[in-house]
Amino acid sequence: MTERAANTSERHFPTGLPPRIQHYIGGQLVDSIDGSTFDVLDPVSNETYVQAAAGKKADIDAAVEVATRAFQEGLWPRMLPRERSRILHRVADIVESRDARLAELESFDSGLPIAQALGQARRAAENFRFFADLIVAQTDDTYKVPGRQINYVNRSPIGVAGLITPWNTPFMLESWKLGPALAAGNTVVLKPAEFTPLSASLWGEVFEEAGLPNGVFNLVNGLGDDAGDALVKHPGVPLISFTGESSTGQLIFGNAAPFLKGLSMELGGKSPAVVFADADIDAAIDATIFGVFSLNGERCTAGSRILVERPIYDEFVERFAAQAERVRVGYPDNPSTEVGALVHPEHYDKVMRYIEIGKTEARLVAGGRRAEGFETGNFVMPTVFADVKPDARIFQEEIFGPVVAITPFDDDIEALELANGVRYGLAAYIWTNDLKRAHNFSQSVEAGMVWLNSNNVRDLRTPFGGVKASGLGHEGGYRSLDFYTQQQAVHITLGKVHNPTFGKSSAEQR
Ligand code: NAD
């Protein structure tokens, strides 16, 4: 079923949009040094609604210079954790108090359903709150060698952190990097995704109101090849935290190598949801529908491959397809919309190409076309392919849209081979009521994160990250603070100096 939003028959325009989107450097909104801009489209009409400043190397240089000064001379890295924490809690308060506005802008710019964009705005506030709490709870190790030595960890911020983020849930993903990078006392240069720069333009004001010193937070908009590339190659930026496609991650690895930078890579996924015959099928169907169609399917941890044990396969496919057909596709600003518009026409074309490929590779059981009643914009019906072979492109490649591949299996060994038979390893969802199988399977599946009989419910203290082509390094909880800090080991002798003497005089040797 597709449905037109009842309250909007026209293209929805939020009021009070900025006349243009600028960079934010040293507490000032500024245009690009060479004056260049790029078009920003809204995904319902695919018309340009604003121009954004297109940052180049010179703009990145300017931002890094300001951030370096704020790091070397400013208060922020030298504040007590409690003082930084207070400011970050104020950031969380402000974000929370503006959640409706944030969701409106995010939904308009990215095509995410408004109800889900609201959830992401609150998650962004929670990310700040979490790291504000963590930084005051941070303890560091001290090691005692009785009577001889004490060795302790001296933790300190590293410098200017370069943060590069994608267009899916942009504001929330920016907060996931900004929170720990700032909590740890670094200064930052953020390069948001060029498809969705609108919500990021709110950060400057939020930080100013919260009392973050000028120059600590800086933002440069622009294309990946220009602004992103310049940030990666800037010798004054020792850290890059990147979230995006695996192929972009590979390129950034290479480009950062000559500078020996610290890298955190959150990359693509093609995560399996494995449903055994003994599972609670009602719960598994609800969870797997949500797991692949929420956030328009533009979700790194989407369960985009569903592996189903043969005895329940036909029933599962039939019920899943029927429910997928009922998922409400609608205008992003309609509160009842479940799948909105894909972010950009280029991405829409990519997803539609995969749907056409899928039709040649497998059995289409739901969707497979543009949503009816939407002549313009990037509206795709939730699409379900069954009997998908493991060598099919729609099984192997990340589509990043509302498209799912369902494949049968006969036993645990085959299920594991199928689950692990792709280059990615971000998340896995396992549905079974057999305790031993649940744990054995979880521990064998090649995935950075596993949810057992559960949807993707995050606990911010746990490690977040992928294996294989899905990433390198783990963030989450103290791991994020580890990435954004330097840990120096300081060793102190307490007793007699442990010091073998080379070059002893002959008198000493006797
Ligand atoms: P993308 O790789 O195209 O772009 C991500 C960011 O990198 C953008 O800001 C872009 O401008 C920048 N960029 C592009 N080329 C660059 C270069 N040469 N140097 C420096 N920066 C460059 O990704 P996308 O299409 O925006 O996002 C979707 C991808 O992100 C999917 O693959 C998805 O799985 C992944 N993702 C992963 C996670 C995770 O936590 N693992 C979370 C969300 C999204």
Residue nearest to ligand 1 atom 23, measured at CA:
244
385 Cα–ligand 1 center, Å: 26
**Residue 21, Cβ neighbours under 10 Å: how many?**
24
CA dist 328 and 181 (Å) reads: 38
If one counts every other C-beta atom within 10 angstroms of the C-beta of residue 220, the result is 30
Q: Is 255 exposed, middle or buried (0-12, 13-18, 19+ CB in 10 A)?
A: middle
The finding on whether 409 has its CB within 6 A of some atom of ligand 1 is no
346 Cβ inside 6 Å of ligand 1? no
Q: How far is CA 101 from CA 97, 238, 427, in A?
A: 9, 34, 31
Compute, in angstroms, the gap from residue 293 CA to the centroid of ligand 1: 20
Give, using CA atoms, the residue closest to atom 13 of ligand 1: 224
Query: Looking at ligand 1, which atom is closest to the CA of residue 194?
Result: 11
Measured CA to CA, the distance from residue 454 to residue 423 in angstroms comes to 24
The beta strand positions in 146-226, using DSSP E, are: 149-157, 160-164, 187-191, 217-219
Question: If residue 493 lies in a helix (H) or strand (E), which one and from where to where?
Answer: strand 485-493
Q: Does residue 245 have its Cβ closer than 6 Å to ligand 1?
A: yes
Residue type, 436: K
Helix (H) or strand (E) holding 449: strand 449-452
User: How remote is the CA of residue 452 from the centroid of ligand 1, in Å?
Assistant: 28
CA nearest to 187, candidates 79, 93, 64: 64
Distance from C-alpha of 16 to C-alpha of 194, rounded to nearest angstrom: 21
Q: Give CA–CA dist 494/193, Å, rounded.
A: 53
In the structure encoding, which two tokens stand for residue 466, read together? 């992928």
Query: Can you read off the two tokens belonging to residue 471?
Result: 């990433």
Cβ burial of 251 (10 Å; 0-12, 13-18, 19+) is middle
Which residue type occupies 273?
A
Query: Reduced to 3 states, what is the DSSP secondary structure of residue 135?
Result: helix
Atom of ligand 1 nearest to the CA of 471: 41
HEC states along 49-97?
EEEEECCCHHHHHHHHHHHHHHHHHCCHHHCCHHHHHHHHHHHHHHHHH
Structure tokens at 58: 């010179």
For ligand 1, whether the C-beta of 110 sits within 6 Å is no
Is residue 428 within 8 A of residue 450, CB to CB? The reply is yes
The four Cα atoms 254, 53, 167, 390 give a dihedral, to 10 degrees, of: -50
- Rounded Cα distance between 253 and 248, Å, is 9
Q: Is the CB of 473 under 6 A from ligand 1?
A: no
Beta carbons within 8 Å of 347's beta carbon, 6+ residues apart: 195, 298, 378, 400, 401
Instruction: Quickly count: other Cβ atoms within 10 Å of residue 260's Cβ.
Output: 8
In this prediction the pTM is 0.97
To test the pocket of ligand 1, the residue of 60, 243, 349 to mutate (highest count of ligand atoms within 8 Å of its CB) is 243
Whole-angstrom distance, CA of residue 212 vs CA of residue 210: 6
Residues 68/160, Cβ–Cβ less than 8 Å:
yes
**Ligand 1 close to Cβ of residue 165 (< 6 A):** yes
Mutation test of ligand 1: which of 245, 247, 305, 344 has the most ligand atoms closer than 8 Å to its C-beta? 245
- How many Cα atoms within 13 Å fall on the side-chain side of residue 75? 10
Residue 8: what pLDDT?
Answer: 45
The domains of the chain, with CATH numbers, are 20-266+477-489 (3.40.605.10), 272-452 (3.40.309.10)
Q: What is the pLDDT of residue 13?
A: 87
CA 133 to chain centre: 21
For ligand 1, pick from 163, 164, 480 the residue to mutate: most ligand atoms within 8 Å of CB.
164
The Å distance, Cα 79 to ligand 1 centre, comes to 33
Strands 305-309, 239-243: pairing is: unpaired
User: Mean pLDDT in runs of 10 for the chain (510 residues)?
Assistant: 45 89 98 98 97 98 99 98 98 98 98 98 98 97 95 98 98 98 99 98 98 98 98 98 98 98 98 98 98 98 98 98 98 97 98 98 98 96 98 98 99 98 98 98 98 96 97 95 98 90 83
- How many angstroms is it from 243 CA to the middle of ligand 1? 5
Q: Which residues form the catalytic set?
A: 266, 300
Give the C-alpha distances (Å, rounded to integers) separating 343 from 41, 198, 329, 361, 379.
9, 13, 14, 26, 10
Rounded distance, CA 220 to CA 198, Å? Answer: 13
Which among 240, 300, 403, 483 is the best mutation to test ligand 1's pocket, defined by most ligand atoms within 8 Å of the CB?
300
Longest dimension (CA), the chain: 100
Angstrom distance (rounded) from CA 218 to CA 121: 20
